[in-house]
Amino acid sequence: MSGIEAAYEQAKERYAAYGVDTEKAMDVLRRIPVSMHCWQGDDVVGFESAGSIADGGIMATGNYPGRARTPQELRNDIEKAFSLIPGKHRLNLHACYAETGRVKVDRSQLTIEHFGNWVTWAGSLGIGMDFNPTCFAHPKAATGFTLASADVSIRQYWIDHCIACRHIGAGIGKALGNPCVTNIWIPDGYKDMPADRKSPRERLERSLDAVLAERLNPAWNLDSVECKLFGIGSESYVVGSHEFYMGYAVSRKVILCLDAGHFHPTEEIGDKLSSVLLFVPEVLLHVSRGVRWDSDHVVILSDALENIASELVRSDALDRVHVGLDFFDASINRVAAWVIGTRCMVKALLIALLEPREQLRGYEEEGDFTSRLALMEELKTLPFGAVWDYYCTQQGAPVGMAWMDEIKTYERNVLSRRG
């Protein structure tokens, strides 16, 4: 028996003493896909033109060498990352990653054909995909307004883009035999105090209705909308606030996207899940890590992350919540950033699945809050790491820092050779 197996056998007994079945936990975990975002690999640049730098309050900082410059490089990097993460996951793609060959195709004219390589590649890996219109980093978004713009032609342009994206989403879902979540996020807002908060919101409501007017097969495409409290350059007012999208998602029965970095710093989206799931059909998560005014640091195994995962498990929400990631850091190895964040997401889910739920709930029902707190704290030092290492081996992923060795090799042989 290897050291990892021996440690696992011991851990299994320790958990069993609390009534927790580690095998069952790993079995559930294997079936939870995490939708890994493509945009960590190239600093949210995309392939439309030479080096457009994301605006709309989205900013990747740092200049670590090795950014993916072509679709093929990005796919290679993503595959590398996937090979170092246990389990089978998904890819979340943005419209600005279209492959249009030598011709320039307007965002409002994009079709599934421009994503053929992505879809074929995802199919060959046997993974699902999710999709996003790109309503930023574009001349027609230069005023900071898109779907809520006062200019009818600008508004129509972004409506057309979002409609095109829903069709692309449906095309992806159909091709892969697995529904694609198409998530709309727009940057619209003001740096300083608006004189009119109402009109842009009325326009956004109408634009979204136009975007979502056509019913698409939910087996192929699922629609989602993402709120935000503030962004860089939209500190005073964001049209698509939480209240706006909560109301919108409830009334139109679409998916609500909760990004962990899009609320007040003391708010946690873990606490929001059980509320919003009473009123919206499904939720999409953008798991991220806000640090002061940045909403997109690499995900780590923080209390906030553990709370998200434990809420998914405790409130039986795994089949109504799509777990996606949204972070970008250009100051460290980008492939490692994916691996760190995604492994942490999976770890948090495993910790949540290893919780003696019934026992904790029992204490709570009896009003024994002392035991509830005592048990919660004891659980923190159970040998979770032994189960995690075993899970990694079972899934053919490296254990411990061994994955970093592979990153170093990849950096030496591939990333450092990029100009």
Can you give the binding site for ligand RNT, defined by CB under 6 A? 39, 44, 58, 132, 185, 226, 228, 231, 259, 286, 295, 326
Per the listing, tokens 């009003």 go with: 367
- Residue 402 to residues 7, 91, 399, 406, Cα–Cα distance (Å): 18, 24, 6, 7
Minimum distance, C-beta of residue 180 to Zn ion, in the bound complex (Å): 17
Query: What does 410 interact with, of ligand RNT, Zn ion, none (CB < 5 to 8 A by kind)?
Result: none
What would the two tokens of residue 389 be? 């290492």
Asked if 130 touches Zn ion (CB under 5 A), the answer is no
Query: Quick one: which of 48, 188, 223, 259 contacts Zn ion (CB under 5 A)?
Result: 259
Tokens for 98? 């279209």
Residues 240, 204 contacting (CB under 8 angstroms): yes
Q: Which residues of 239-270 are buried (b: 16+ CB within 10 A; e: fewer)?
A: bbbbebbbebbeeeebbbbbbbbbbeeeebbb
Examine the residue annotation and report whether 138 is marked as an active-site residue of this protein. no
- Is 326 marked active-site? yes
Shortest distance in whole angstroms from residue 286 CB to Zn ion? 4
Question: Least distance to ligand RNT from the beta carbon of 379, Å?
Answer: 32
322 is a catalytic site residue: no
| Residue 39, contacted partner among Zn ion, ligand RNT, none, CB below 5-8 A by kind | ligand RNT
Q: Which of 296, 329, 355, 389 is catalytic?
A: 296
Query: In the annotation, is 271 catalytic?
Result: no
- Give bridge partners of residue 226 from the DSSP assignment: 257
In the set 286, 322, 343, 372, which binds Zn ion (CB under 5 A)?
286
Segment near Zn ion (CB under 5 A); pick from 207-215, 304-312, 322-330, 405-413: 322-330
Catalytic residue among 80, 174, 272, 286: 286
Instruction: Please tell me the total number of residues recorded for the chain in this structure.
Output: 419
Catalytic entry in 262, 272, 322, 347: 262
Is 294 a residue of the active site?
Answer: yes
For strand 289-291 and strand 129-132, is the pairing parallel, antiparallel, or unpaired?
Answer: unpaired
Residue 80, interface with Zn ion (CB under 5 A)? no
Is 253 considered catalytic here? no
- Name the binder of 228 from ligand RNT, Zn ion, none, CB < 5-8 A by kind: ligand RNT
- The residue from 118, 185, 338, 388 that is catalytic is 185
Verify whether residue 94 is a known catalytic residue: no
**Amino acid letter at 100?**
T
* Active-site position among 259, 268, 282, 311: 259
Active site residue 226: yes
Q: How many CB atoms lie within 10 A of CB 234?
A: 21
Which of 293, 311, 383 has the alpha carbon at shortest distance from 12? 383
Q: How far is the CB of 229 from ligand RNT (least distance, A)?
A: 10
Segment near Zn ion (CB under 5 A); pick from 171-179, 211-219, 252-260, 394-402: 252-260
- Whether the CA torsion 52, 257, 161, 251 is positive or negative: it is negative
Residue 329 lies near Zn ion (rule: CB under 5 A): no
* Degrees, nearest 5: CA angle 39-45-46: 80
Q: Does 389 bind Zn ion (CB under 5 A)?
A: no
Tell me whether residue 53 or residue 402 sits nearer to Zn ion (CB atom): 53
Q: What is the DSSP string of 215-282?
A: ---TTTEEEEEE--S-BTTBSSEESS-HHHHHHHHHHHT-EEEEETTSS-TT--HHHHHHHHTTTSS-
Instruction: Respond yes or no: is residue 209 known to be catalytic.
Output: no
Q: Give residue number: closest CB to ligand RNT.
A: 185
Scanning 58-66, 280-288, 340-348, 385-393 for contacts with Zn ion by CB under 5 A, the matching segment is 280-288
By CB under 5 A, residue 289 contacts Zn ion: no
Q: Identify the active-site residue in 37, 80, 228, 272.
A: 228
- Cβ atoms of 270 and 304 within 8 Å: the answer is yes
Among 77, 188, 326, 355, binds Zn ion (CB under 5 A): 326
Q: What are phi and psi of 22, to 5 degrees?
A: -65, -35
What's the burial of 413, exposed, middle or buried (CB within 10 Å: 0-12/13-18/19+)?
exposed
Which of the residues are catalytic?
185, 226, 228, 259, 262, 286, 294, 296, 326
